[in-house]
Amino acid sequence: MGKRKSPEQIADEERRYARARSARTPEDFAQLALDPNQGIRAVAAMNPAADEAALTRFASDRFWGVRIEVAKHANATRAILLELLEFDPPRRGVVHHAAKERLIAEGVRFDDDGIPLVGDGPPGA
């Protein structure tokens, strides 16, 4: 079992969660993207004020919980959603499927291998 958090650590974590929910500026999101707590980063990625730059940062997070919030975010652009796709079928997971579902809803077509069709995909496809 892990070490228990001190009251100060708990208070600091709650302050960071509140900051993730209330972030409004690019500087806020840039700092939150570096937070060591993936839960706080996920809350920041859910923030309705997250813009394209913030969502692009969160889309490259190593934890799927943060990336799936980007896939669900209303401000996620087509380019961001395309970046969330996994082109290696064995590596596809919930993030890939959430991004694909959003792209299909936007009219992007996919081939039988799950790759966006030419003209629907990333630039140069």
DSSP 8-state assignment for residue 89: G
For 99-111, the pLDDT digits (tens) are 999 999 999 999 9
For 37-47, the pLDDT digits (tens) are 999 999 999 99
DSSP 8-state assignment for residue 116: B
DSSP 39-56: HHHHHHHH-TT--HHHHH
Determine if the pTM surpasses 0.85.
Answer: yes
More confident residue, 124 or 17: 17
For 49-93, the pLDDT digits (tens) are 999 999 999 999 999 999 999 999 999 999 999 999 999 999 999
Tokens linked to 52? 């394209």
Domains of the chain: 7-105 (1.25.10)
Tokens linked to 71? 């896939």
